[in-house]
Structure 1
Amino acid sequence: MKAITGLVFAMLIHGVVLAQSHTISTEDITHFWEAYDELTSAKSKADSISIIQQKYIDRATGHFKTFIRIRKFTAEEYVTLLGKYPQFWKSVRPLTENIANRKDEIEAVLQKFKNELPAFEIPDVCFAIGCLRTGGTTGDKLILIGSEIAAADKYVVKDELTPWLKSVIGNTGDIVSMVAHEAVHTRQKGRNTDLLVSVMNEGIADFVTELVSELNINTHIHNYGKAHACEIRNEFSEVIRQKSNDLKPWLYNGNSAGNRIADLGYYVGYAIAELYYNKQSDKQKALEWLLDRSKYRRIYELSGYHERCN
């Protein structure tokens, strides 16, 4: 009996260890603001670059090193951005520092995904300060968050920012929403092979995030999309018929979107996913398909999104 009890106890302990095997790290945020505070001693731009390099980049955690490699952050770029947008950085600082106090919220949404998404494994999450180019991205079982974007709210100072940054900053739905969106990307399998798959990849991440957690990082994009739904649907469907693979009009086009909102592909992919999902009687199978990029062209066909909207 004692042996059985001991075995059960060991299994329970093992289960706890497994449940806590992922990490949520904010250490790099601390390093950034320590480096930032030391900039007051800099006597030249070269001094500033050296401080950011030594006190922030050289102290990068293992996951932040991955972020640096993927996004090619440099000390010189940080110094340039700190000089261009001083009031923004001052205003966003407390929001980024407060992320350390919100790990329970993040853990809760990750556990929700584990319970509701098929074969979802909770990834590590690394919060760092980026160069105002990315709110979030993913690596192998890893979520990387650009906290200066993800944590910003509508009250941060935006007067100094570019038009695209003004449209993004404060409109990404908070850090928990960003983690949720990127969590879906860690579960999607297959390659982004063309425009259609790339658009659906992003829009499906929005759709599944909202389906599971009721969160969305792109409410402003979806509001615009819904207001111009037929126009956008017909335009995108024609582009796909012409077999165009130009991402620029639809994704990652913050500085070249012209007179309409950037990154409309997020809305298009969401709309396709929603049409498809609502038509399926087997919701679990539909969800599994939405997480498989090799199914995206078939999902597009089944959704009916390619049919002309009047």
Structure 2
Amino acid sequence: MRLSFSLILALALPCTALAAPSQVVTDDIARFWATYDAVRAESDAERRVTLVQQRYIDPGSPGLHALMQVRNYSAREYADAMQAWPRFWASVRPLTANAQQASATLERDLVAFRALYPALRPATITYAVGVLRTGGTTLGDKVLIGAEMALGDERVDVSELPEPMRSRLRIFYDSRPGANNAQNNLHEYVHTQQRETTGTLAQYAVREGVAEYVAERLSGRRPALPLYTYGPAHEAEIRTRFISEMDGNDLGNWLYNSARNPFGVSDLGYYAGYRIAQEYMRQQPDDKAAIARMIELDYDDPAAVRAFIGASGWLQQR
């Protein structure tokens, strides 16, 4: 199903208040579950792979195809996961039906986003089922939401999953990501406005932190993850290690990781980047201009990112 709220907004709001037009695409979810039922009823392993390809992937949306490209999913991986984790899929299935409800505030949030950042460009948002490698990512002007992760909560059964995935996702689902979906959509939408980076820890962390800051500013929410509890209580320790590692290319202690790192808490690079963005904004007299500078920062230029971090003053705090 495709949901477009632009016409409704055009009738309800003056033209100057309109957000960038957007689409939310959710039809891949129903297609996934129809494919899942067929796969579970098929005894031949190769035929299961063919069913995934023909019934889920081939007729899938451009967003599904982009999600598969970004996360390197394959028909065989889907088929194998469907067979290996029946309790997981049974527990997450009803939650994926909440995609429309979970994105209900999107157009309102984008109105607020454009008011804060008038240069906002349109993007599509696709909810599709992946194989547990992202709750949200982007490719160009596409926001790609992994529904099996982003719409989950504490009811998801992770007992069949291998370690360390099982422990990491237990923490993630217990944070009730489905209840924080508005913030997640906005975080990823910010990424569609930013430049990509393939650089240092500092570059990645600031890019993620700016997306976190702007998404919180618009939604009033942050993810209920341990990093936002641990961070304020251990900020000096985080800052010291960040300073020593920020110019390197190893993200292992900081981003897209499990809790098996020196902090015992995953993804503290998000916290470091968020605090840098927060401190930068506290010093700016013009919110709109400062938001534009953050979003339009050249994240692929290490000198530009270092200058931004320096301007925030976060590294010098004690």
Same fold (TM over 0.5): yes
**Distance in 1, Cα, partners of 2:19 & 2:228:** 35
Residue of structure 1 in register with 2:6 after alignment: none
- Report how many aligned residue pairs link the two structures: 294
SS class of match (2:217) = helix
Residue of structure 1 in register with 2:7 after alignment: none
Residue of structure 1 in register with 2:245 after alignment: 239
C-alpha distance 20-293 of structure 1, shift in aligned 2 (>3 A): closer
State the AA in 1 paired with 2:250.
D
**Distance in 1, Cα, partners of 2:102 & 2:241:** 41
The answer to whether the Cα contact below 8 Å between 1:192 and 1:201 also exists between their aligned partners in 2 is no
Residue of structure 1 in register with 2:289 after alignment: 285
The answer to whether the Cα contact below 8 Å between 2:183 and 2:216 also exists between their aligned partners in 1 is no
Are residues 1:189 and 2:195 paired?
A: yes
Alignment identity in percent? 33
Gap regions ≥5 residues in structure 2 = 1-9, 299-303
The answer to whether the Cα contact below 8 Å between 1:237 and 1:305 also exists between their aligned partners in 2 is no
C-alpha distance 118-193 of structure 1, shift in aligned 2 (>3 A): farther
Indicate the structure (1 or 2) with the bigger Cα radius of gyration: 1
Residue of structure 2 in register with 1:24 after alignment: 24
State the AA in 2 paired with 1:261.
V
State the AA in 1 paired with 2:220.
E
SS class of match (1:257) = coil
Residue of structure 1 in register with 2:276 after alignment: 272
The answer to whether the Cα contact below 8 Å between 1:207 and 1:273 also exists between their aligned partners in 2 is yes
TM-fit CA distance, 1:168: 1.9
SS class of match (1:236) = helix
TM-fit CA distance, 1:76: 1.5
C-alpha distance 117-21 of structure 1, shift in aligned 2 (>3 A): closer
Are residues 1:207 and 2:213 paired?
A: yes
Residue of structure 2 in register with 1:84 after alignment: 84
SS class of match (1:247) = coil
SS class of match (1:143) = strand
SS class of match (1:126) = strand
**Distance in 2, Cα, partners of 1:244 & 1:40:** 45
Residue of structure 2 in register with 1:164 after alignment: 168
State the AA in 2 paired with 1:299.
F
Gap regions ≥5 residues in structure 1 = 1-11
C-alpha distance 112-192 of structure 1, shift in aligned 2 (>3 A): farther
Q: TM-score, normalised by structure 1?
A: 0.86
Aligned positions of 1:96-245 closer than 5 A: 96-161=96-161, 162-171=166-175, 172=177, 173-189=179-195, 191-217=197-223, 219-240=225-246, 243-245=247-249
